[in-house]
Amino acid sequence: MVGLYFYDDKVVDLAKNLKPSKRGELEITDLNRIYLEEGSLNVQVFGRGYTWLDTGTHDSLIEAANFVQIMQKRQGLMISCLEEISWRLGWISTDHLKKLARPLAKSEYGKYLIKQIRGKQ
């Protein structure tokens, strides 16, 4: 199940008791099923603009990297740029974003941050 998961402290003991799936892996879905059966699962559905990128194999990691590269180039936006997200949500000020961007100014990432600041002023 695609998602961002937050668990309480009992998850460690629950995970220790999981049995590997047919794929030989411990499955996050099995943990979620336990919480569902207990009636303690809380779910928030993500809206549009979210996608799941499996990176469990070399091939799927390359596919995910290619997808991110294509989306960023075509849209001109960074995916999961935490500094930009924090700034746009008002969690950090423009001055703080500038301070974070300065040491990165020679990199594409830093240039992107600076471009966002200039575009919003």
The two tokens of residue 45 are 């559905």
Centroid of chain to Cα 5: 11
Span 34-78, pLDDT tens digits = 999 999 999 888 888 788 888 989 999 999 999 999 999 999 999
In a 10 Å sphere around its CB, with 0-12 CB exposed, 13-18 middle and 19+ buried, how is residue 113 labelled?
buried
The two tokens of residue 110 are 């830093």
Structural domain boundaries in the chain: 1-50, 58-120
Residue of 67, 40, 53 whose CA lies nearest to 2:
53
Half-sphere exposure of 45 toward its Cβ, with a 13 Å CA cutoff?
2
Span 1-29, pLDDT tens digits = 677 889 999 999 999 999 989 999 888 89
* Cα–Cα separations (whole angstroms), residue 70 to 17, 43, 97, 118: 41, 31, 26, 24
Q: What is the pTM of this model?
A: 0.63
